[in-house]
C-alpha cells in the first residue's frame, strides 16, 4: 500500500495550481482517498508519480430548445497516476456557467452538488517523454448522489510545442442526465449531454 502522507509531501507543488487556498486541503484529501485504492508502485514500495490540479477545463454541451448550450468550468479537480493511468475527476456542478444569467442562477442554486468520476485511461502508464499523439479508450464509474454507473469515453494525449513543451490530455464522454439522477431544473434541456475535458498534464 502506498504511503499517502509521504506521497502528498513529495508531490511537486508546482503541479498543484490553486485559485483558492482551501483547495490545497481538498486536493490533499482527494489524493489520500485516491491512493488508498491504487496499486503499489513496485516491490521496492517506490512512490508512484501523481499529478494533481484544481483548475481543469470542462465543457458540457447540450441542446436547449433546439439550440446548442455550452456550460463551462475551469474548476475541475483532477488527480492522475502517471504509472498506472488511473485518474479521479471531481466537479462542483455549481461552478458551471453558460453566459446566460437566468441559467447560471439555476446552476448556482445547486450548492455543493458534485460529480465524481474514477477511471482508467486504458494505457499501462503515461509517457512523459516525446511521443506521437495517442488515442485510447477510457472507462470508469461516475458517481452522483446515490447513483454509481459505468461510463466509457474516448481519450487523446498529444504534445504542443512553443516556448515550453506541453502535454494536453483530452477526454470526451456522452451521458444521459436522468440515468445519473441529475435534475438541473432547466426547462427544455434535452437529456443527453456531451462532456469534454481538456487538461495540461505535462509541462517542461
Average pLDDT over residues 19-26: 48
Calpha distance 82→161 (Å, rounded):
21
Average pLDDT over residues 169-174: 96
pLDDT of residue 131: 66
pLDDT of residue 71: 95
pLDDT of residue 19: 42
pLDDT of residue 128: 62
pLDDT tens, position by position, 104-156: 998 888 877 899 999 999 876 676 666 678 899 999 999 998 889 999 999 99
* Residue that wins the pLDDT comparison between 147 and 194: 194
For the chain, the domains span 54-203
- The fold adopted by the segment(s) 54-203 is Lipocalin (2.40.128)
The pLDDT mean for the chain works out to: 78
For the chain, report the end-to-end CA distance as a whole number of angstroms.
30
pLDDT tens, position by position, 48-65: 678 888 889 999 999 999
Percent share of the chain, pLDDT over 70: 72
3-state secondary structure of 183: coil
Mean pLDDT lowest among 104-108, 121-125, 191-195, 198-202: 121-125
Q: The pTM is what?
A: 0.76
CA neighbor of 195 nearest in space, from 112, 71, 74, 103: 71
Calpha distance 195→186 (Å, rounded):
17
Backbone angles phi, psi at 10, to 5 degrees: -90, -10
pLDDT of residue 111: 73
Calpha distance 66→30 (Å, rounded):
38
pLDDT tens, position by position, 75-84: 999 998 888 8
Average pLDDT over residues 81-107: 91
Average pLDDT over residues 94-104: 93
pLDDT of residue 130: 61
Distinct helix (H) and strand (E) counts, the chain:
3, 8
Amino acid at each position: 500500500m502506498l504511503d499517502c502522507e509521504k506521497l502528498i509531501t513529495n508531490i511537486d507543488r508546482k503541479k498543484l495550481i490553486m485559485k483558492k487556498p482551501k483547495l490545497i486541503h481538498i486536493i490533499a484529501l482527494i489524493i489520500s482517498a485516491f491512493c488508498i485504492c491504487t496499486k503499489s508502485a513496485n516491490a521496492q514500495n517506490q512512490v508512484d508519480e501523481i499529478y494533481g490540479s484544481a483548475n481543469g477545463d470542462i465543457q458540457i454541451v447540450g441542446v436547449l430548445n433546439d439550440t446548442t448550450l455550452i456550460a463551462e468550468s475551469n474548476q475541475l479537480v483532477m488527480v492522475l497516476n502517471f504509472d498506472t493511468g488511473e485518474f479521479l475527476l471531481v466537479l462542483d456542478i455549481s461552478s458551471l456557467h453558460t453566459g446566460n444569467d437566468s441559467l447560471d442562477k439555476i446552476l448556482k442554486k445547486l450548492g455543493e452538488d458534485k460529480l465524481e468520476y474514477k477511471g482508467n485511461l486504458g494505457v499501462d502508464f503515461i509517457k512523459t517523454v516525446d511521443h506521437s499523439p495517442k488515442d485510447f479508450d477510457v472507462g470508469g464509474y461516475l458517481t452522483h448522489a446515490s447513483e454509481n454507473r459505468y461510463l466509457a469515453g474516448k481519450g487523446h494525449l498529444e504534445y504542443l510545442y512553443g516556448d515550453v513543451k506541453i502535454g494536453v490530455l483530452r477526454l470526451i464522454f456522452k451521458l444521459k442526465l436522468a440515468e445519473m439522477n441529475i435534475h438541473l431544473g432547466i426547462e427544455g434541456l434535452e437529456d443527453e449531454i456531451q462532456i469534454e475535458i481538456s487538461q495540461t498534464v505535462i509541462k517542461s
